[in-house]
Amino acid sequence: MNAAGIRPVAISVDPPEVSRDLSQNQGYSFTFLSDPNAEVIRRYDLVHAGAGENGHDIARPAEFLVDRTGTVRWVNLTESYLVRARPEQVLEAAKALK
Amino acid sequence: MNMRRLNWPLWVGFLLTLVAFLSYFFVFVWFPVTRDFPWANLVLFFIAAVLLFAGIRRGFASDRPHPTRSKIVSSIVGLLGLAVFGSFIFGMFIAARWLPASTGAPKVGQRAPEFTLPDATGKSTSLSELLSSPVNGNPPKGVLLVFYRGYW
């Protein structure tokens, strides 16, 4: 992903401490961001109310490819929680970016 | 118990339904091709169903040492296997789709809403910064925002 010039940014309600463990375990060059009150998640209309472990609001899975101007160029909002975008799909969409 | 009288298809079949169920979460979920559609688990459930069916037939055979008990046990185990399968299908194909409509999510061509959030080290970062600060020496062509449910 980095080789294609795309910066992956993962966002969830997990606090920074939890994300830190994740990023170390996975060895990603992902940037992990914390949105504990789901404010940004709400701004993107991705709130899955009460679906978290303790009845917390969390994000439903979604991916957005945003170009340098801040415009959304590709969106993945699948119907089922099981299905997530594969890297090939993202890289294909990324080809259109300059 | 005499091994020849043990209704092994029944018990192996039931064990296999449990394996078919649990293996999704422990094994197949790590591979996109078996995660997106749990075909590997459906195959295991099918084999388990064949064994359970054979086990139920055996349980209802007239030469069982305890015919009534065999009928009851094989029926109950068969039903439990069906319940495990039913829960799996429900979880995978029905509950997994209980996602909010998210009709207000940014669409292609719209601006991605600005935000500022802390990263894993606690440092605040904004979308503008993510779009401009260099990746391997150059500014990125784009940012992939991956919203996920988290483990919290």
What sign for the dihedral angle of Cα A57, B38, A30, A78?
negative
The residue among A68, A75, A31, A96 whose CA lies nearest residue B141 is A68
The whole-number average pLDDT for the span A63-78 is 94
ipTM of the complex, rounded to two decimals:
0.91
Q: Residue B39 phi/psi, 5° resolution?
A: -65, -35
- CATH node for A9-94: 3.40.30.10
- Chain B residue with the nearest C-alpha to that of A77: B102
pLDDT (tens digit per residue) in B82-118: 999 999 999 999 888 889 989 999 999 999 999 999 9
- Residue to mutate among A21, A77, A84, A90, with most B CBs inside 10 A, is A77
In chain A, where the domains are located = 9-94
Beta-bridge partners for A75? A64
Residues with Cβ within 8 Å of residue A87, at least 6 apart in sequence? A1
The residue among B86, B96, B81 whose CA lies nearest residue B29 is B96
pLDDT (tens digit per residue) in B69-84: 999 999 999 999 999 9
Pull the structure tokens for residue B36: 């997106």
CB atoms A60 and B136 under 8 Å:
no
